Chains A and B, each alone.
Chain A
């Protein structure tokens, strides 16, 4: 049974670019180029893609915060534009933001305020908030002003707000971004529990690992288009017959990936830059191991400092590299 359906959604934003002191120029940015997908009841569906791919735009359209320029979408059978009120009743939304709370209210008071705006019975709201604060391990900080919260605590509070009215359908925009590993694990556990309760979840992420372990199905989205859709295993089967090696190097030389890409038998090359170190990873998807000596020859001739080379199982990351031929954004 389909709970969410998007048909040919398009969205163009007009941005103003500043040039010099007084000059400005309008530019069109095509955020969504006609995307379609459907999500079944009780499914965790992931929108996977780099920053600026159109993930948040999709969530905002489905959650009635943005009007599409073209196309239609339904949530629980209600049209997101024509029946926006009905849609809002049934969805819970966590948008990625470290703002979005009243600093001078406590965490508890912030949740209570939104509970009332959702017209929750005060008695029910109190119990529900207590439950959510407990499972998110925020209870002891519930009576502290939000201005004293850390980024991670605000993320958890954001997550709690999305669940405050126990919605059937949940949209989560980058739910674990900015969280420490333990908190991220906790959030993932809760997402799995929500699925067990029969909730339908749409989550966006650029974290391949998260998408792989959480999602029943994934749509890989890039530059406003869905370029692949299927279960994690189905997606991985795209590169199943290929061999993948991962080379860990220090620094990066301009044009190195291009040189590797030109080797006969190399299908795709992706560069993954580590956020917190000088290390970089190069993933090479190739037809067979015969290509490896030639790759090594290039590394030696370019005097690249190699830390390790290993053969790896195909992952969603490789699928992304394979499908887009582009390097990925920074990893977490």
Chain B
């Protein structure tokens, strides 16, 4: 079948941006949309500032019950918890960011309109990554103050650049993980309850709150399969100088590989699910 094909004439005279510029345009559009919406829900932002220290206490006090009172202000213990809270945010970013963004598009009815464009299927759902990144930065600074006020302990930061690098890499891995997970949201819609359960499992097995060397052998094997184990290990290594379970260089290479592999798998999965939903006609369903 051959109908007459005509080039879109205006593409020649600069109506469209092409190549890398179009990717930058998508990134800019997604980020600015994300930030605009984020700051227009000011109540959320303020609520986060109020509740963060409270939730930290609610979560840490039950654990402190297992320690003698003298250790409640032990700098190493508290620093361990501090980085665990940062890690928790990263795990949350991984699990929720894409899934939440996709679910939001389903609910607002914008998903079909996004898929009518040729924009990159990953970039269009990265809104939460931008806002999460900002939120993490703000919360990080805020938590340093909160921990000082609550526990009277300074946060140990031996290699600040190393920590920034590891956390960025960690966010990238989390993003890839989130893409795969987001694809499931695209397919199964409301998987909030499953996400909660998975979040707890990940927190439990990934050595977020304690070194994986303290885990039983069989569980440690599983924890070595979790990408979040290495993010937690390397963050503590860079921040507090705590030894990693495997060689730090090897763990770093693993992290880089995971960032690439997870994102590639995530991208392919989203495309696959998009095609599947176009077959079943459920793309617009919410």
Contacts and interface: CB of A to CB of B under 8 A. Distances in A.
In the complex they form, whether A and B have CB atoms below 8 Å apart is answered with: yes
B246 interface: no
Given A99-B109, A100-B110, A66 B283 contact: yes
B276 to A, nearest CB: 9
B51 interface: no
Interface residues on B, range: 35 or more
B13 to A, nearest CB: 9
Interface string A105-144: 1000100111011111110100000000000000000000
A60 B119 CA distance: 18
Interface string B3-23: 111101010001111100010
Contact of B36 (A2, A101, A109, A122): A109
A119 B18 CA distance: 7
A250 interface: no
Nearest to B124: A117
Interface in A1-56: 1-3, 5, 7, 11, 13-14, 31
B161 interface: no
Contact of B113 (A72, A121, A161): A161
Interface in A148-164: 161
Nearest to A5: B3
Interface stretch (B25-33, B151-159, B205-213, B218-226): B25-33
A102 B33 contact: yes
Identify the interface centre among A100, A112, A165: most chain B CB within 10 Å of its CB. A100
Interface residues of A, number: 55
Contact of B116 (A11, A65, A102): A65
Nearest to B6: A76
A119 B17 CA distance: 5
B112 A95 contact: yes
Given A97-B109, A168-B8, A105 B278 contact: no
B115 A65 contact: yes
A166 B10 contact: yes
Contacts of A118: 16, 117-119
Interface of B: 1-6, 8, 10, 14-18, 22, 25-26, 28-29, 33, 36-37, 40-41, 108-110, 112-119, 124, 275, 278-281, 283-284
Given A5-B3, A77-B3, A78-B5, 16 more contacts: A65-B278, A74-B1, A93-B116, A97-B109, A100-B108, A100-B110, A100-B112, A101-B109, A104-B37, A113-B29, A113-B33, A117-B117, A117-B119, A118-B16, A119-B17, A121-B17
